[in-house]
Amino acid sequence: MVMKMNCTGVVLAGGESSRFPIHKAFAHYDGEYFYERAVSCLKPAVSSVYLVAHPSIAHKLSASSAMVIQDLPYLQGQGPLAGILTAMNIREGADWYAVITCDMPLMRTEIYEILLTAALCTPGIQAVVPVVKERQQPLAALYHKSCKPVIYKLLTEGKRSMYGLLQSVNTKYIDELCGDWNPHDFININTQEDYSLYIEKGLRE
């Protein structure tokens, strides 16, 4: 296990889950809610976990082992970058922020340990991002505190793309050849069909 760095976990549960019958945070896998699995995934690798929740569900997460927060008023409705910036503003003492969305129930702690090791071994890096089948995974990644003003600038310019952030900071990419992961670790459950295929039937890509 990698030595713990000064890293805060950020679980993003701010979306409206419009393509899923319920809010995805409350879908089940292996006896846990998706949001509980996300928190459990991060906790062994970080010093604390913040759960950035949509206002409609924040009150239902009060029993979570993470600290539940909502997007700052001026950031609400602006997507994942806003959730990350909110966590950075509320938890200012961290050097790194490990981000996960609540709809990735197959994600493993070991992946974040690999990312943290890469961050520790690469001075000056601002983001560490997995690449799976040539696709970047910015919502299962690490971001240094120095990204904060960059994110703020992007949002004030109306730019909400995670990929815009990756292009604006010093990003280290790690693919399957260097990281110990499989594509199914990064599966997003976006629809009921996804849930049926990957959770109920256990299909793996």
pLDDT, tens digit (0-9, with 9 covering 90-100), for 49-97: 999 988 888 888 865 678 999 988 888 889 999 999 999 999 998 999 9
Question: Contact at 8 Å (CB) between 84 and 164?
Answer: no
Determine whether the annotation assigns residue 140 to a binding site: no
DSSP count for the chain of H helices, then E strands: 6, 10
Give the pairing type, strands 28-29 and 32-33. Answer: antiparallel
Terminal Cα distance for the chain, rounded: 27
Distances (CA, A) of 2 to 47, 95, 111, 115: 13, 16, 11, 10
What DSSP element (H or E) covers 156?
helix 148-156
Give the pairing type, strands 96-101 and 140-144. Answer: antiparallel
Determine whether the annotation assigns residue 120 to a binding site: no
Q: What is the pLDDT of residue 101?
A: 95
Determine whether the annotation assigns residue 24 to a binding site: yes
Determine whether the annotation assigns residue 13 to a binding site: yes
Determine whether the annotation assigns residue 12 to a binding site: yes
Q: What is the pLDDT of residue 18?
A: 65
Which tens digits make up the pLDDT trace of 117-171?
A: 999 999 999 999 999 988 999 999 999 999 999 999 999 999 999 999 999 999 9
Please give the domain boundaries of the chain with CATH numbers for all domains: 7-200 (3.90.550.10)
Q: What is the pLDDT of residue 201?
A: 79
Question: Whole-prediction pTM value?
Answer: 0.92
Determine whether the annotation assigns residue 14 to a binding site: yes
Residue 1 has pLDDT above 60, yes or no: no
Nearest to 172 by CA among 132, 118, 135, 108: 118
- Distance between CA atoms of 48 and 7, rounded to whole angstroms? 8
